[in-house]
Structure 1
């Protein structure tokens, strides 16, 4: 994939590789999980890395172009890629405004996918065909499409089937992890990192509340006060224009580490 004649594509590659390093540095991705980005001038194509750990991606040679239509590589001779790339292709297919997607198995977030939460949860068990392996992996387009639909609340009786704007920023995946999206790599990385951070904060709040109020059995036990819908919506808008502030810090952090290499 040559980018010498396309400055926008070269910049995307560099940002993509740095994004993978940042996600690894912050523990959102380890040897597993993945980032993707839509091609800057060919919306029918998206980019992921080959089948290696995100923290070790280092050059253009590690990147593969895939068709949004079927998640197959543009180059039939491309190296092996991730088996769950249909998570990404189906989000790009359903939502034209989505420019970047992250799938993570964050240990801080997974408990909320099996313990109950108001966050949308994709349960793969409801969508498996008899020929699908029950290994929790979203490895084909019909499973990817089912996950993508969870971002729009398809079961909501007021859902508009023509609406191509995702309602939710994050969907949990039962016993597996979470997926998030955004209009840029920088914003997507921010969402993924703070999904993990917020899960850690919520866990601490629940433990502290349980310990202080003895499991809520005391008559004067206070309820945990979460953000209301208006506060959450305003906070979401705020993060869109503030995403580049932490990005600059995170870039400096990974540049200062000896293990991360970005040759683009």
Structure 2
């Protein structure tokens, strides 16, 4: 009996990936995953393909070891274990995104900590953690391609929603596809703002009190942002045609 596909959720994942591509966050190597709404031990992730060409039929179910549920001859993302480890470690995470956005990459070098400087970035906190694969695993190919590395990455993420990977990129988690897309985009905008501010002078961080008061992105803000970005995506597609 064929596994029932969460059709609406998959369509949202395809749309969310399209948004990230359209907004300049996702490049050829990024990917988004979503936990199955009925089986917490399963998540959906695309076969290895170009994000800009992602279609619903490209999505496959995986278990929390990062293995495909169904036998497949498709090429798979070697870093699918990142999502498996996140969903295993954090029951509140229902979506995750790994990307290498140009805005984030300078903060993955270890010389400057990414931190919240505005209201829409407050959820990132006073300091975004930086995971360095070399600390525990020595010299690697800079890919998180097994569960041991992925679990170590997830432990550095801990209860936060974003962790940077030294020399590599970012991992962002959320409570929905819309939520993880919001966080992925605004983390990059926060990085752009901080980098620009550092070039012209000193920077005032948000205080712990301000961060606590702002807290998690509101559902209304996430919904408004999703409506805005999907409209922009539709315009971009219409322009292409």
Q: TM-score band (shorter)? A: 0.7 to 0.9
For residue 256 of structure 1, report the CA deviation from its aligned partner: 2.1
What pairs up with 1:106-125 in 2 under 5 angstroms? 106-114=101-109, 115-117=111-113, 118-125=127-134
CA distance in 2, matches of 1:189, 1:197: 12
Partner deviation per Cα, 1:123-160 (whole Å, 9 max, x = no partner)? 0112227xxx72110000000000000122xxxxxxxx
Q: Indicate conservation of the 8 Å contact 1:119/1:171, yes or no.
A: yes
For residue 257 of structure 1, report the CA deviation from its aligned partner: 2.2
What pairs up with 1:151-190 in 2 under 5 angstroms? 151-152=157-158, 166=159, 168-190=160-182
For residue 234 of structure 1, report the CA deviation from its aligned partner: 2.8
CA distance in 2, matches of 1:67, 1:249: 33
What pairs up with 1:16-165 in 2 under 5 angstroms? 16-59=13-56, 61-68=57-64, 70-114=65-109, 115-117=111-113, 118-128=127-137, 134-152=140-158
- With normalisation by structure 1, the TM-score equals 0.80
CA distance in 2, matches of 1:78, 1:182: 30
1:232 aligns with 211
Aligned length: 226
Q: Which runs of 4+ in 1 moved over 6 A?
A: none
Query: For 1:27, what is the secondary structure of its paired residue?
Result: coil
For residue 241 of structure 1, report the CA deviation from its aligned partner: 4.2
> Does structure 1 residue 199 correspond to structure 2 residue 191?
yes
What is the root-mean-square deviation of aligned Cα atoms in Å?
Answer: 2.1
Moved more, 137-146 or 234-243: 234-243
CA distance in 1, matches of 2:107, 2:231: 32
Q: Give the number of the structure whose alpha-carbon radius of gyration is greater.
A: 1
> Does structure 1 residue 254 correspond to structure 2 residue 233?
yes
Gaps of 5+ in 2: 114-126
Residues 197 and 134 of structure 1: is their aligned pair in 2 closer, same or farther, counting only changes over 3 Å?
Answer: same
CA distance in 1, matches of 2:80, 2:239: 24
- With normalisation by structure 2, the TM-score equals 0.88
CA distance in 2, matches of 1:52, 1:260: 23
Partner deviation per Cα, 1:78-124 (whole Å, 9 max, x = no partner)? 51111101110000001111100001101111111211313200001
Gaps of 5+ in 1: 153-165, 210-222
Partner deviation per Cα, 1:204-259 (whole Å, 9 max, x = no partner)? 000011xxxxxxxxxxxxx4211112212333324444211110111111122238
